[in-house]
Chains A and B, each alone.
Chain A
Amino acid sequence: SYELTQSPSVSVFPGQTARITCSGDALPRQYANWYQQKAGQAPLMLIHKDTERASGIPERFSGSISGTTATLTISGVQAEDEADYYCQSTDKNNRYVVFGGGARVNVL
């Protein structure tokens, strides 16, 4: 079955940049979407269609794609950004949905 592989968790100081990667063979053909999940809350869509910020999402969140790797970048991390982050896409035939394993961003 198709899998998305996310980079490990990252720890950053406020104001620094955090990057999380997501790798999958179908990513050149299928969009990557990104979600933030804080403790005890439902996920929140941050980025869709590889690079588009969802409505109301701050500009410090951005998405990019290069070949089989999608990247979520948080520029100028704030304390409130401490959360788990998940990438999501579909298989090459756009039939089955898949989530990456998640990566935690710790704000020191």
Chain B
Amino acid sequence: EVQLVESGGGLVQPGGSLRLSCGASGFMFSDHYMDWVRQAPGKGLEWVGRSRNKANSFTTEYAASVQGRFIISRDESKNSVYLQMNSLKIEDTAVYYCARAPLSNYGMDVWGQGTTVTVSS
């Protein structure tokens, strides 16, 4: 079964750090782009960033709102993708989803269940 499972969410103070994990199973992990998408309470979907596939050297891109604060990495041996979040702001409070995409703009066809990050003092 193709599956993505996120973990690592929680409560963190402004300025703090948190690392989210997304474990993949049931498919060739290195062949796929992996995206992080978030959704603030009562708001729409916001793309956070992506790691491209092996054929594209696992390069990364980030939304302007997180550039310089968030880092995406992958561990192919663990079929996992990570989102390191630093200098967290209250406005980073959201449900964070990981999603896979077969190619750059072919759609995100598998999503995890999401993990909740709350930034509050």
Residues of chain A contacted by B47 (CB below 8 angstroms): 88, 96-99
Assess whether A30 is interfacial by the CB under 8 Å rule: yes
A94 to B105, CA, bound (A): 7
Which among A31, A35, A43, A102 is the interface contact of B106 at CB below 8 angstroms?
A31
**Structural contact, B44 and A102, CB atoms closer than 8 A:** yes
A31, B105: Cβ atoms closer than 8 Å: yes
Interface-facing stretch out of B11-19, B71-79, B85-93, B111-119: B111-119
Which of A12-20, A44-52, A65-73, A74-82 lies at the interface? A44-52
Q: From DSSP, what is the main secondary structure of chain B's interface residues?
A: loop
- Contacting B61 at CB < 8 Å: which of A54, A96, A100? A96
CB distance from A1 to the nearest CB of B (A): 6
Q: Which residue of B lies closest to A90 (CB)?
A: B105
Residues of chain A lying within 8 A (CB to CB) of residue B106: 31, 33, 48-49
Contact residues of B with A, CB < 8 Å? 35, 37, 44-47, 50, 61, 63-64, 97, 99, 104-109, 111-114
CB pairs A–B below 8 angstroms (24 shown): A1-B64, A30-B105, A33-B108, A35-B108, A42-B111, A42-B112, A42-B114, A43-B37, A45-B107, A45-B109, A47-B107, A48-B106, A54-B107, A84-B44, A86-B44, A86-B45, A88-B47, A88-B107, A90-B104, A94-B104, A96-B63, A99-B37, A102-B44, A102-B45
**Known pairs A54-B109, A97-B47, A99-B37. 20 more at Cβ < 8 A?**
A31-B106, A33-B108, A37-B45, A42-B97, A42-B111, A42-B114, A43-B37, A44-B111, A49-B107, A86-B45, A88-B47, A88-B108, A89-B105, A94-B104, A94-B105, A95-B61, A99-B44, A99-B46, A99-B47, A102-B44
